[in-house]
């Protein structure tokens, strides 16, 4: 039997070229083709407020590549700074404006649009809150309008109210005032570190039967406790009825 033909230099070169092409194709499939980020948009409202963003590199075949680590950057550190820990980054609001936070893995990248709208001014209506103390605790909602540093309307995360004299009124974290006793005082309305002050007047409108009941603690909490107790009783009644039906 004759020996097998020896590979010529031309055949060896062709084999090497094909091998390199196959390796390149495999690397292209396994290498990062894109980067997915979550969330894709971040809205911040006050200096120091933070948001967590996560990213993962994805291969061309759709396979996740969690071992490929991001290189994080911010297009405007004066607006939003980044503190990275692998494929997770903490975005911190610095100042008013817009920035792009980018995760780069090899030749692929993913971006997060960051908007920082710092509240600079509050408007509260009415400027004088006229409250009535009634037999049942009832809150007085305030209309609070917030504006950012550029004068554009903004949405605060939380509106907190505080009364100077809690014998007259009480505040809460919902932009409401609760009457506690007849008289006058002032209340602070605060949203994302910005505060303004309004006047509060409370008139006693309780009936003769209701007047002996002194207002204690936070009226809002008492109302919520009563609602929770009612809900519990309704659930128990529904469960009892369901058991009786099954019998």
Domain boundaries, the chain: 32-116, 119-227
- Architecture per CATH, domain 32-116, reads as Sandwich (2.60)
Q: Say if residue 167's pLDDT is above 80.
A: yes
Nearest to 189 by CA among 123, 107, 246, 242: 123
Q: Quickly state the pLDDT bin for 23 (edges 50, 70, 90).
A: very low
User: Strand 194-204 to strand 128-133: parallel, antiparallel, or no bridges (unpaired)?
Assistant: parallel
Q: Say if residue 232's pLDDT is above 80.
A: yes
Higher local confidence (pLDDT), 217 or 128: 128
In this structure, whether the domain defined by 119-227 belongs to CATH 2.40.160.20 is answered with no
**Which residues fall within 8 angstroms of residue 225, CB to CB, at 6 or more apart?**
none
Same fold, 32-116 and 119-227: yes
Q: Quickly state the pLDDT bin for 27 (edges 50, 70, 90).
A: very low
Q: Say if residue 5's pLDDT is above 60.
A: no
* Residues 43-74 pLDDT 10s: 998 889 899 999 999 999 989 999 999 999 99
């Amino acid at each position: 039997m004759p020996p097998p033909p020896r590979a010529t230099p031309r055949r060896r070169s062709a084999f090497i070229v094909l091998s390199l092409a196959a390796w390149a194709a495999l690397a292209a499939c396994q290498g990062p083709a894109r980067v997915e980020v979550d969330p894709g948009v971040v809205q911040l409202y006050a200096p120091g407020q933070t948001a967590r963003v996560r990213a993962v590199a994805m291969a061309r075949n759709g396979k996740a590549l969690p071992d490929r680590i991001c290189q994080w950057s911010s297009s405007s550190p004066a607006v939003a700074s980044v503190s990275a820990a692998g494929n997770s980054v903490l975005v911190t609001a610095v100042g008013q404006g817009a920035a792009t936070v980018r995760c780069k893995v090899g030749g692929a990248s993913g971006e997060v649009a960051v908007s920082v709208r710092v509240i600079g001014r509050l408007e509260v209506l009415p400027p004088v809150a006229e409250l009535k103390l009634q037999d049942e605790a009832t809150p007085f909602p305030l209309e609070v309008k917030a504006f950012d540093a550029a004068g554009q309307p903004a949405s605060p995360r939380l509106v907190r109210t505080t009364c100077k004299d809690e014998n007259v009124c009480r505040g809460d974290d919902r932009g409401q005032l609760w009457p506690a006793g007849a008289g006058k005082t002032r209340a602070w309305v605060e949203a994302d570190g910005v505060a303004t002050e309004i006047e509060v007047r409370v008139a006693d409108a309780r009936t003769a039967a209701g007047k002996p009941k002194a207002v204690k603690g936070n009226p809002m909490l008492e109302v919520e406790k009563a609602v929770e107790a009612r809900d519990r009783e309704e659930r128990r009644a529904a469960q009892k009825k369901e058991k009786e039906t099954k019998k």
